[in-house]
């Protein structure tokens, strides 16, 4: 059963929250992060990406970078940019994009639930990416970026959330990318106790986005348990900052692929090889966006094609039946010889938020062929996690992104 507890948040003043809130640290490269910090001095990105405070050639993983992150955070607290709550609270965090809203509960999840698979994962993590956030969390003594979790929608929880949303929010602003962010505080003891009780009835919670941050938070907690052998399990380091959304409010966008070459094939040879597993329809110059499972858009030499997976290659297996698996197993690997999409430099990925025109631009500039995907569904994600399996890399692209800096969870 899921243990989701309220916490004493460190959070920005209401008048400045919109300037502090920043997209997750890993959506920027170093140059983009620096530009963002120069544009907005209050941006939380200068804490999440503290290498922006050093020379361009300074090692972003040097201990001094994490120390700088801690110092900036403490300075912003001392200057009153951040305030500290005096009691444990939950929050509701609603994001609205293009008229569509999703509202999640902000609280702290248990590292034991992660270790015991109550909190389920669907991706592998890489140690080198974990180490960066371990050092950041440990140095700051705080978790600064919330983990994006999902649970199967529950009416009782939904009713409480809708009731709280009728109250006055503590934050309500529109970010530069036109995403609206609204936050309500839940301080009433009866509501807190009811929410905590209702989440304990939930058997499984799922990591939607943030596998590396979750693994890092858990490892920091285990490290602190080792340093405190008489720990009770109630200490803050036993929990990590999360936003939990009902599954039926979430939207997953397509996560598209672009490839540098045809692995030595001519166009005609390539299309012939693809036709062994996929039906091919010439669409012409108008972009083709798939509208159903097992269908793919392909852009090659100025022409869009519709690929449809033949029935004999489709599968009911939670992983093998995913569209990303069909493309990988019957086209990328056997024809283009791209076996490990994590490491192969011939393939790149384009989030669906950027649209099909971006796929055309990439093919017309630095790539050879693009594949437009039908989005993985939230139910497919839950089914893979429940089966104890892992999705292929780059299977999901969630929008809108949670902002960092609106909530900070201190570890003691």
Q: Render pLDDT for 147-186 as a digit per residue (tens, 0 to 9).
A: 999 999 999 999 999 999 999 999 999 999 999 999 999 9
The gap between the terminal CA atoms of the chain, to the nearest Å, is 25
Q: Which pLDDT tens digit goes with each residue over 287-313? A: 999 999 999 999 999 999 999 999 999
The share of the chain scoring above pLDDT 90, in percent, equals 94
The β-bridge relationship of strands 147-151 and 205-209 is: antiparallel
Residues 34, 53: Cα–Cα separation, whole Å: 8
If pLDDT is split at 50, 70 and 90, which confidence band does 344 have?
very high
pLDDT of residue 27: 85
Which two structure tokens, joined as six digits, stand for 319? 């992983």
Q: Is the whole model's pTM more than 0.85, yes or no?
A: yes
The dihedrals phi and psi of 309, each to the nearest 5 degrees, come to -65, 130
> Residue 89: which residues within 8 A CB-CB, separation 6 or more?
6, 7, 8, 9, 185, 186, 187, 192
Report CA-CA distances (Å) from 314 to 157, 318, 330, 362, 374.
37, 11, 10, 29, 15
Rounding to the nearest 10 degrees, give the CA dihedral for residues 118, 252, 351, 293: 110
If pLDDT is split at 50, 70 and 90, which confidence band does 124 have?
confident
pLDDT of residue 1: 84
pLDDT of residue 393: 87
Q: Which pLDDT tens digit goes with each residue over 130-141? A: 999 999 999 999
In 3-state terms, what secondary structure has residue 100?
strand
Q: Which pLDDT tens digit goes with each residue over 26-60? A: 888 899 999 999 999 999 999 999 999 999 999 99
């Amino acid at each position: 059963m899921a243990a989701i507890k309220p916490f004493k948040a460190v959070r920005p003043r209401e008048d400045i929250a919109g300037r502090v809130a920043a997209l997750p640290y890993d959506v920027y490269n170093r140059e983009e992060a620096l530009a963002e910090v120069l544009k907005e001095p209050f941006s939380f990105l200068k804490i999440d990406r503290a290498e922006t405070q050093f020379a361009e050639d300074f090692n972003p993983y040097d201990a001094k970078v994490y120390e700088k992150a801690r110092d900036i955070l403490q300075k912003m607290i001392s200057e009153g940019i951040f305030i500290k709550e005096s009691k444990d609270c939950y929050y509701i965090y609603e994001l609205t994009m293009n008229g569509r809203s999703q509202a999640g509960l902000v609280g702290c999840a248990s590292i034991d639930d992660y270790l015991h698979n109550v909190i389920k994962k669907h991706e592998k993590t890489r140690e080198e990416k974990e180490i960066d956030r371990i050092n950041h969390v440990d140095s700051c003594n705080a978790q600064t970026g919330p983990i994006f979790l999902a649970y199967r929608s529950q009416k009782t929880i939904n009713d409480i959330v809708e009731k709280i949303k009728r109250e006055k929010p503590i934050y309500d602003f529109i970010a530069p990318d036109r995403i609206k962010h609204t936050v309500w505080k839940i301080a009433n003891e009866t509501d807190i106790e009811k929410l905590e009780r209702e989440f304990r009835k939930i058997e499984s919670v799922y990591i939607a986005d943030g596998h590396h941050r979750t693994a890092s938070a858990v490892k920091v907690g285990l490290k602190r348990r080792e340093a405190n052998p008489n720990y009770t399990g109630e200490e803050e380091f036993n929990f990590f900052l999360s936003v939990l959304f009902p599954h039926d409010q979430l939207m997953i966008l397509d996560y598209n692929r672009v490839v540098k070459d045809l692995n030595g094939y001519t166009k005609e040879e390539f299309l012939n090889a693809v036709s062994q597993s996929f039906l091919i329809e010439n669409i012409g110059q108008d972009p083709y966006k798939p509208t159903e499972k097992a269908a793919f858009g392909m852009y090659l030499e100025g022409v869009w094609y519709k690929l449809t997976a033949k029935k004999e290659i489709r599968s009911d297996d939670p992983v093998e039946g995913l569209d990303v698996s069909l493309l990988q197993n019957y086209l990328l690997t056997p024809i283009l010889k791209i076996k490990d999409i994590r490491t192969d430099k011939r393939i790149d990925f384009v989030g669906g938020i950027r649209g099909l025109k971006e796929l055309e631009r990439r093919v017309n500039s630095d790539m050879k062929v693009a594949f437009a995907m039908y989005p993985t569904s939230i139910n497919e994600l839950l089914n893979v996690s429940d089966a104890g399996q892992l999705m292929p890399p780059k299977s999901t692209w969630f929008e809108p992104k949670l902002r960092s800096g609106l909530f900070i969870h201190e570890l003691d």
